[in-house]
Structures are given as C-alpha cells and as structure tokens.
Amino acid sequence: MNILVLCTGNSARSILLESIFNHSSDGRVRAYSAGSNPAGQVHPQSLALLGAEGHDLRDARSKSWDEFAAENAPEMDMVITVCGSAADETCPVWPGAPLRAHWGVEDPAAASEADWDTAFRTAYDILSRRAQALLTLPIETMDSAELTAHLKRIGDIQ
C-alpha cells in the first residue's frame, strides 16, 4: 500500500510521518511525502530527531507533489494531509481516487528555535501514535468505507 503524506512545505510534519511509516511498517506500506510549496530542504530538527530515533535518512528530502502527479510516479492508495489548524495555513488537496484523510498537527517549524526540541518531539509523538494505530489494522483486507472511517478516527488521536 502506497501512502502519500502531504503538507505545504514538506520539511517537517510530512517528512516525519513518511519516515515513521517506512521505519515502522515492516514493509506493509511504502510512504512518500511532498509539499504544495516545498521548502527545498528538510528542517534540520526533523533530521536530528529522526536520526536520534534510528530512522534511515538517506532518502529524506523536501520535494514537490508534482513528482507524484507525473506519469511514471507510484500510484497512491492513500493520501494523508498533516497541516495544522492554524488559520493562515493552506493544506494541499490531492485529486483522484486514493483514500484521503486529514491528520492535522501544528507546525513544529513555526516554533521559536528555543522550543524546537519540544515542538518537534510533540509532532513526532502524535504522528507516531497515529501511524501505529493505522498499522495495527488489517489495512490490506479492509474495504474503502471501513478504512476511511478508521482514518478519520485516527486523525483525532493526540
């Protein structure tokens, strides 16, 4: 199952969830991340936290969602947006048939540098709990309606 994690800048939250899925799924899912307006680089605190958690960082990079709309891109089964609830933040929309879910998390990169450790850890922990909740389900055999209901419920996990 291919999962695309979208956010605006693709430097923090979407990178974190992509890595969490790929690190924790034992190959059951393949996650990718992208942004509608990519920052062009992964936030250094994302890399520091993921490295400390033992994640493979070789493929971590900020990229545009245009890569996944190209003809030779992998077909997505699910698209998860992770933009927060801030009023000035625009969350990208992904067209097409994949299942869609919104798992909003406040942007840790918006925190002051002095608060990065806490902000990134909070985002990582929330996203990790949500990923684990999804991965405990028999997602390979669930129908779309059932999986969509679970995705919505999981998006409320703090």
Q: Which residues contact 38 (CB under 8 A, 6 or more apart)?
A: 9, 10, 11, 62, 63, 64
Catalytic residue among 15, 29, 83, 101: 83
- Please say if 91 is a catalytic residue: yes
- Please say if 7 is a catalytic residue: yes
Number of Cβ atoms within 10 Å of the Cβ of 119: 20
- Please say if 130 is a catalytic residue: no
Listed residue (67, 29, 62) closest to 44, CA to CA: 62
Torsion sign (Cα): 41, 32, 76, 119: negative
Catalytic residue among 7, 34, 76, 139: 7
Number of Cβ atoms within 10 Å of the Cβ of 52: 10
Catalytic residue among 48, 91, 133, 142: 91
- 34, 68 in Cβ contact below 8 A? yes
| Residues annotated as catalytic (active site), given as ranges | 7, 83, 91
